[in-house]
Structure 1
C-alpha cells in the first residue's frame, strides 16, 4: 500500500512537471506574439507563406536534390537564401515562389555555388547566435522585431525598425568577425 502511494505521487509529480513546462512555453509564445510589431494576422500569414513556399519548392525534384534553400517570411516578404550549383534552379525557385499568392516581395539571395557542408552550417548558426547575444546585451532593439539568417558567412536581417535602429544593428553586426557581408531587408518606421 505504501509503495502504491509513492508511485502515485511520483506519477503525479512527473505529470505536473509537464504541465508547468507547457504553461511556461505557452507564456513565452504569447509574450513573443504580443511584442512582435507585426499584427497577429501578419504573423500567421508569414508562417503559412513560409510553409507554402517550402512545400512548393520541395515538390521540384531537382531543387530538392541539388539545392539547399532556406525560406524566410516577414511581413509577406519572402527571402530565399542558400546555394544551388545551377543558375536555372535559382531562377526556377524564384518562379515557383512568385506563383504563390499573398507574397508582396521576393528577395532571391540563393548563391550559385555548391551546397555548404555541415561544419559551415554549424558556423553559420554560431554567427547568428553571436549576433542575437550582442543585440540582446546592447539593448539596441527587441529581438522579436528581427529575423536573422546566416548562410555561408553572409548575414541577412529582416525587420521593422527605425532608421537609427537600422544603423545601430548594421554597425553592431559589422564588428563581428567572419562575416562576409550584411544584407538588410528593413521596413523603416517613422517615430
Structure 2
C-alpha cells in the first residue's frame, strides 16, 4: 500500500511539474534498476536524458523523422541508433545529430538504408528481445554475472548487446543470445571491465 501511495505522489508531483514528468518517472525507473547496474545512478540518469535529447534532435529534422524509423538506446553514454532511413544522407545526418548531444561519448550508427520495418517485423523483434533476455539467465560460470546488466535490442532479427561486462561474461552472453530462435546475427557493443 505504501508503494502505491508513493507512486501516486510521484505521478501527482510529475503532473504539477509539467515538462519535468518524463525526467521524474525516468528517474524513478532508474532508481529501481540501479541495484543491479555497474553504471552509477548519475550515469543511468544521464543515459535517460541522452536518449530523450537524441530523439528530440532527430524529431527536429522533419524530413528525417517523417521518413524514417529510428530507435535510440544509450548505455554508459554510448548511443546505439537502429532502424531504417530512406537514404544514406539521412543515415549520416542521424549520426551527426546524435553525436552533437551533450555527454554522448560514442555513437554506433546501425541504421540501414531501407523502407521502415513493418509492424510484424517489429513485433517479431520484440519477441526475440524477450526470448534473449530470458535466455541470458542460463549463462553460468561467472560469480558476478547478472543478466539484467545486459541491454538487449533487436532490429530486423539482429540482436545488439550492450552493457559493462567482463570479456568472458560478454562472450558467454553473446553465445547464449545466438542460440535463440529467430536471431539472425549478434552484435556485441559491450564496454569491458578487463
**TM-score (structure 2 length as normaliser):** 0.81
Tell me which structure has the larger Cα radius of gyration. Answer: 1
- The answer to whether the Cα contact below 8 Å between 2:30 and 2:44 also exists between their aligned partners in 1 is no
Paired residue for 1:181? 185
> Cα gap change, 1:29/1:87 in structure 2, threshold over 3 Å: closer, same or farther?
closer
TM-score normalised per structure 1: 0.83
How far apart are the structure 2 equivalents of 1:166 and 1:43?
A: 20
Unaligned runs of 5+ in 1: 1-14
RMSD: 2.5
Shift of 1:29: 5.8
SS in 2 for 1:80: strand
Equivalent residue pairs, number: 175
CA deviations 1:16-39 (Å, max 9, x no partner) are 79438769xx99864411221100
2:146 pairs with one of 115, 119, 142: 142
Query: What is the deviation of 1:81?
Result: 0.5
Structure 1 runs of 4+ aligned residues shifted over 3 Å read: 15-23, 26-31, 137-141
Distance 2:156 2:38 in 1: 29
Counterpart CA distance in 1 for 2:184 and 2:150 is 20
Q: 1:27 to 1:68 in 2, by over 3 A?
A: closer
2:161 aligns with one of 152, 157, 161:
157
- Unmatched tracts of structure 2, length 5 or more: 10-26
Deviations 1:55-104 (A, max 9, x none): 11011111111100000001111111111121111011011112222111
